Amino acid sequence: MNSPGPLAEYLRAKRADLLPDRTQLAGYGARRRVRGLRREEVAQLAGVSIGYYTRLEQGHSRHASDEVLLAIAIALQLTVTETEHLLDVSQARMPLRGPAAPPIEVASPTALKMLGFVTDRPAVLLGRRDDVLAWNRLGHALIAPYLPFTAPGITSERPSLPRMLFLDAPTRALYPNWMKEAGQVVAYHRMVSGKHPDDTALIALVGELVMKDPAFATLWSEGRVGECISGSKQFHHPLAGDFTATYDLWAQASYPEHRLEIYDPEEPDRVIAALRRVPEAGLGAHDVPEAHTVS
């Protein structure tokens, strides 16, 4: 069966996510068979015909005008980021010759120079698909102390944060609030997929995680999008213990999809001192607490 397309799938997900009591239709039609709004209700709120909106959701009309999409975005109460994603997926077209393999991402000299300036806080340079392009010693010690420090420099061994988060038990154990972290990662990759529908590496990553992890499949089906620009994360680290760190992402104009993630932990003296004890070669099996052991 052919997919109805990313626009149709996204509209369905966001319609199901919007409850009637959050709209001016509250109380309209008390008996409902499905969660969320009906198609005719979205059409009514957006000021478009039911037939036209139905064709959009069925994938029979994949490229609506921006004016119609903005009206639908308002009806579905989408955020700015969600509206941008709606516009992205509406314009997605497969290349005439089929998708080409994207070039291997390489950290720019400017980004590496910026990373080199950060010596007293964990920092990680991430690519479009959250591959680790580079990290400082503290970033390595925080995010993946079980891997060699040199891993990002070897393409075949380059750490993929999404794969680690969903498929690697030690990484899962690193985040006490794992579902929050997982939701943010999936929302970011959903947003990127709308901007780069022909990225075969991203398509393969999503397909792999959908097949291998039910939690990823469920989160992906919800259609949520978001940007992880700043915030805070909780950690349960094998050497530093439990702590919270705020983080900020920095992007450079020439490589906007390469983001430098810098962490600022609470109790910095204690946490940084513990992270400095992680060797370049990574933690050995005898250094990993029982709670972090892969079963």
As a whole number of angstroms, the distance between CA 259 and CA 139 comes to 14
Report percent pLDDT > 90 for the chain.
43
* Low-confidence winner among 9-23, 168-182, 231-245, 268-282 (lowest mean pLDDT): 9-23
Give the model's confidence band at 211: pLDDT under 50 very low, under 70 low, under 90 confident, else very high: very high
Q: What is the pLDDT of residues 230-287, one digit of tens each?
A: 899 999 999 999 999 999 988 877 777 889 999 999 999 999 999 999 987 777 644 5
pLDDT above 70 for 94:
no
- Tell me: pLDDT of 1 over 70: no
- Whether the pLDDT of residue 219 is over 90: the answer is yes
Give the per-residue pLDDT at 89.
Answer: 85
- In this prediction, residue 99 carries a pLDDT of 55
**Lookup: tokens for 225:** 């999008």
Of 27-31, 97-101, 273-277, which one has max mean pLDDT?
Answer: 273-277
Backbone angle region of 287, left / alpha / beta, with phi > 0 → left and psi within -120 to 50 → alpha: alpha
Bridge partners, residue 67, by sequence? none
Q: What is the CATH code for 6-90?
A: 1.10.260.40
Q: Do domains 6-90 and 109-292 have the same CATH topology?
A: no
**In the chain, what are the domain boundaries?**
6-90, 109-292
Give me the CATH topology for the region 109-292. Beta-Lactamase (3.30.450)
pLDDT mean over 220-231: 86
- Indicate the pLDDT class of residue 293, thresholds 50, 70 and 90: very low
d(CA 259, CA 291): 31
Beta bridge partners of 230: 248
What residues form DSSP beta bridges with 248?
230, 262
Structure tokens that stand for 44 in this block: 């009514």
Do residues 172 and 293 lie in contact, with contact meaning Cβ atoms separated by under 8 Å? no
Residue 163 to residue 151: CA distance in whole angstroms: 15
Torsion of Cα atoms, 180 then 186 then 191 then 196, to 10°: 160
For residues 184 and 207, give the distance between their C-alpha atoms in angstroms, rounded to a whole number.
Answer: 18
Report the relative pairing of strands 255-265 and 123-126 from DSSP bridges: antiparallel
Calpha distance 51→249 (Å, rounded): 43
Three-state SS string across the chain, please? CCCCCHHHHHHHHHHHHCCHHHCCCCCCCCCCCCCCCCHHHHHHHHCCCHHHHHHHHHCCCCCCCHHHHHHHHHHCCCCHHHHHHHHHHHCCCCCCCCCCCCCCCCCCHHHHHHHHHCCCCCEEEECCCCEEEEECHHHHHHHCCCCCCCHHHCHHHCCEHHHHHHHCHHHHHHCCCHHHHHHHHHHHHHHHHHHCCCCHHHHHHHHHHHHHCHHHHHHHHCCCCCCCCEEEEEEEECCCEEEEEEEEEEEECCEEEEEEEEEEECCHHHHHHHHCCCCCCCCCHHHCCHHHCCC
Contact 115, 125 (CB under 8 A): yes
Strand partners, 234: 244
